Structure 1
Amino acid sequence: MAKRVKSPAKRSRAASKLAEVRPGELVTLLDFVRFAVSRFVEAKLTFAHGTTDPVAEAAFLVCETLHLHPDQFDTFATARVTAREAKSILDLIALRVASRKPAAYLVNKIYMRSLPFHVDERVIVPRSYIGELLDSHFGGRDDQPAALIENASAVENVLDLCTGSGCLAILASRTFPNAKIDAVDISREAIEVAARNVADYGLQDRVMLHRGDLFAPLGDKRYDLIIANPPYVDAEGLAALPRECRAEPKLAFDGGADGLEVIGRILSEARRHLTPEGGLLCEIGRCRPALEAACPESEFLWLETEDSQGEVFWIRAADL
């Protein structure tokens, strides 16, 4: 029996619904957010790229269309939208539903710690918990519960492995104002995106980009801090990635059969690239049980963020 193929009309049903909106039915920013949320939920989209739910994603897309920072949404929530702006918003909502691409790719922007960064299909969409930890666990401020490095101003050299878009290297330059930062990625295309972001923030003299495999392009250089957000999705997880994630570079996800292939290499080489008082801050997703089983003697300190528990570890050079 021949397999029934859905017609293009049926495949674009959700997009067609957007075209049915009549002038004047949606008026304020909140109206468009509500409408977008309904369409996103109906289409069963996945939210894992800087926004974690349909409301936040809808607000993000509305703000980007109107050239507003996300922090400004509450200020303008009840403001009216022009007819031209309304069409642009509806077109973007339709594109998100039809393409199932991450919203960040559709507008070529993502925010981390309220800072904008350029992103496109050459890099994974940044959503690392390390950005929050750089603010909360370094510097020794009174509001920090446990500083991993107490004097951020004394940090001279930082390494960002698997830098992707370069966002963590740029955030590190803010946390450690006197540090030089090396940022490494194996992907030439990722380095191109990172170079754009570094230039946008005027950090060419402080953030040095290197193309290569982990520590290979660095020689014997040592660092006060190494941060890493390497590929850590295991084979089973890779096969089950939602469609949105499959739009991102596979190289940025693939951590081998157990997810620990790249992480294991970082752990084995990190000590010789750290100063005696330095440490490694590494994000590993849900690989904690596998890592603890593989390294039962290692003294990992597991850190929490607003949205995660035990997905990032800290380990001192002396404990590697």
Structure 2
Amino acid sequence: MTFAGPSLAPHGHTVQAALATAARELSNVSESPRIDAHILLAHALRCERTWLISHPEFKLSKAQSETFAGLLEERASGMPLAYITHTWGFFGREFEVTSDVLVPRPETERLVERAIAHLRSRDGPTTVLDVGTGSGIIACTIAAECPDALVDATDISEKALAVAARNARRLRVESRCAFHLGELAAPVEGKKFDCILANLPYVPAAQIPGRPHGLAFEPMVALDGGLDGLACYRSLLTDLDAYARAGCLILLEASAPAIDGLFQLSKRVFPSALVAVERDYAGLDRFVSIRSPGGKGGRRAE
């Protein structure tokens, strides 16, 4: 599909006409073509979406029309909006997103909400570990919402950590966020935390080739969860008890098909902890929560 033809490229199109044309063209590739069209046109014109609504008769220049057509062509290829605009909203804030990190999912906001509530219930300064931080949305949001929290975040990708560090500066929480390169929790060995979060790869390897079109643009290393989708979590849980303070809340995100396996795995590793499955805003099983009674007694994940 291309948008370089006469429908959009010539100058003189009004905002209203350009949006209508774009929404029609995107209807085959997006579940929200009108919203996509608004986001992309606002990006092309470097304005707020509200400005588009209040200026429907504004006429696009030739350069603006061509820029918009190029953005639409990228979206039509299946490229996620976040990779086109390089920004994405999460928990009421704008974050930088590049193709080196996963696009933030709205369901992860529930994970962060649970962590924030837990941290606010603790006395004094708190410590947080975000394993597999990616763009840093979890680490940075928690730091922004909990001024007494000190956050450590890890990732195996230097490029992802660079994005996370820029997001920390963007939110002005860089003084309370430390980013570490390395596998899982290993970079912070010896430290203990009040809250540990992980949104690790959980797509079974066999499902990767048939993944939805948009996921083809996302980094494979952030998706591949091994044979059963639990390989990364199995490695993480093996030693995670050593990082948990008394009363630590551990929150692990996965897809609905993988949740039961993750729940059973967590119960085996933390036999004395309170382990539960929690739902996201859509009512789907999305997280496993582990409330550590004392940070002792973990078993090896098998």
**TM class by smaller structure:** 0.7 to 0.9
Point out where structure 2 has 5 or more consecutive residues left out of the alignment.
none
Amino acid at match of 1:35: T
- The equivalent residue for 1:253 is 223
2:67 counterpart (85, 88, 91): 88
Name the % identity.
Answer: 25
Q: 1:22 to 1:167 in 2, by over 3 A?
A: closer
Question: Are 2:132 and 1:162 aligned?
Answer: yes
- The equivalent residue for 1:300 is 275
- The equivalent residue for 1:311 is 286
Q: 1:24 to 1:196 in 2, by over 3 A?
A: closer
Amino acid at match of 1:281: L
Question: Are 2:41 and 1:62 aligned?
Answer: yes
Whether the 8 Å CA contact 1:155–1:176 is kept in 2: the answer is: no
2:6 counterpart (19, 22, 26): 19
Q: CA deviation at 1:25?
A: 7.8
Whether the 8 Å CA contact 2:8–2:66 is kept in 1: the answer is: no
Aligned equivalents of 2:133, 2:222: Cα separation in 1: 10
Q: RMSD across aligned C-alpha pairs, in angstroms?
A: 2.8
Q: CA deviation at 1:243?
A: 3.2
Aligned equivalents of 2:157, 2:10: Cα separation in 1: 46
Q: TM-score, normalised by structure 1?
A: 0.79
Amino acid at match of 1:96: R
Aligned equivalents of 2:265, 2:244: Cα separation in 1: 22
Amino acid at match of 2:108: I
Once the two structures are superposed, residues 148-199 of structure 1 have per-residue CA deviations (whole angstroms, 9 ceiling, x without a partner) of: 4552674521111100111111101122211111010011221122122222
Q: CA deviation at 1:291?
A: 2.4
Whether the 8 Å CA contact 2:280–2:286 is kept in 1: the answer is: no
Amino acid at match of 1:67: R
- Structure 1 residue ranges (4+ consecutive) displaced by more than 6 angstroms after TM superposition: none
- The equivalent residue for 2:213 is 243
The correspondence of residues 4-153 of structure 1 with structure 2, limited to 5 A, is: 14-16=1-3, 18-21=5-8, 26-28=13-15, 30-42=16-28, 45=29, 53-69=32-48, 72=50, 76=54, 78=56, 80-83=58-61, 84-97=63-76, 99-127=77-105, 129-135=107-113, 137=114, 147-151=117-121
- The equivalent residue for 1:189 is 159
Q: 1:65 to 1:252 in 2, by over 3 A?
A: same
Q: How many residues align?
A: 289
Whether the 8 Å CA contact 2:266–2:275 is kept in 1: the answer is: no
Whether the 8 Å CA contact 2:101–2:218 is kept in 1: the answer is: yes
Aligned equivalents of 2:283, 2:36: Cα separation in 1: 19
Amino acid at match of 2:259: R
Whether the 8 Å CA contact 1:300–1:314 is kept in 2: the answer is: yes
Whether the 8 Å CA contact 2:252–2:288 is kept in 1: the answer is: yes
**SS at the partner of 1:196?**
helix
**SS at the partner of 1:120?**
coil
